[in-house]
Amino acid sequence: MDVYLKYYDLLEQPPEATLEEISKNYSDLKTLYSGDSIEITALNSDFSQELQQDYLSRLDDAYEKLKLLLENKKPVLVKKTVIMDDSLSEWINSIKCFTGVALKSIRERMGVDLKDIFAATRIQPQYLEDIENEQFRSFRAEVYLRSYIVEYTRFLSLDTQKVLADYLPRYRKFHGHNADT
């Protein structure tokens, strides 16, 4: 069931929500982010067409998986098992700063392909590459980068807060923000 929590979060519903409640919220969110609502128009400078489409794709995926779950059908989940042995864990603990290069090294050492992360999180591989290469221009709003890093680190079973604390200050510096923005 833990695998589905991110889908409930994306659909802004608690895990005990009914299919009817999830369907209603899904419909509301699709309407909000698909059209030219005043809410999305206000976010146009931070919410590009590409990010909007990515969000809508993840929203569709979350809805379909929860619908299958709640209809007692077995959904297809693709998540490669990440084996964290003692030597790998020790090596990760020795990393002083989680940069994009460090994240890529960890992922590769675990034998995880970007397509594996995409299959589980629905984050486009290009965004995952941009995180690893610290292509900060790809993320106009910190909120999207933050959510992608959270999903990426959860998939790899890393300390999300530590990675965010190491990674985001470089993003903020690139975009000229201070830590309070």
Asked, for residue 48, whether it belongs to a domain, the answer is yes
Q: How confident is the model at residue 3 (pLDDT cuts 50, 70, 90)?
A: low
Shared domain for 105 and 64, answered yes or no, is no
Residue 122 belongs to domain with CATH number: 1.10.260.40
Task: Indicate whether this model's pTM tops 0.85.
Answer: no
Question: How far is Cα 106 from Cα 115, in angstroms, rounded to an integer?
Answer: 15
Total structural domains within the chain: 2
Asked, for residue 135, whether it belongs to a domain, the answer is yes
3-state helix, strand, coil in the chain (%, to 5): 65, 0, 35
| 121 or 42, which is more confident | 121
Asked, for residue 180, whether it belongs to a domain, the answer is no
Three-state DSSP at 101 gives helix
Amino acid 121 reads: T
Q: What is the pLDDT of residues 65-93, one digit of tens each?
A: 888 878 765 444 444 556 678 888 999 99
Question: What local confidence, expressed as pLDDT, does residue 122 receive?
Answer: 82
Shared domain for 126 and 96, answered yes or no, is yes
Asked, for residue 143, whether it belongs to a domain, the answer is yes
Asked, for residue 77, whether it belongs to a domain, the answer is no
Q: Could you list the residue range(s) of the whole structural domain that residue 58 is in? A: 2-70
Residue 34 belongs to domain with CATH number: 1.10.287
Question: How far is Cα 10 from Cα 147, in angstroms, rounded to an integer?
Answer: 11
Task: Return the percentage of the chain with pLDDT > 70, whole number.
Answer: 81
Sign (positive or negative) of CA dihedral 101, 86, 146, 2: positive
CB 106 within 8 A of CB 158: yes
Give 59: exposed, middle or buried? Use CB within 10 Å, 0-12, 13-18, 19+: buried
Shared domain for 55 and 106, answered yes or no, is no
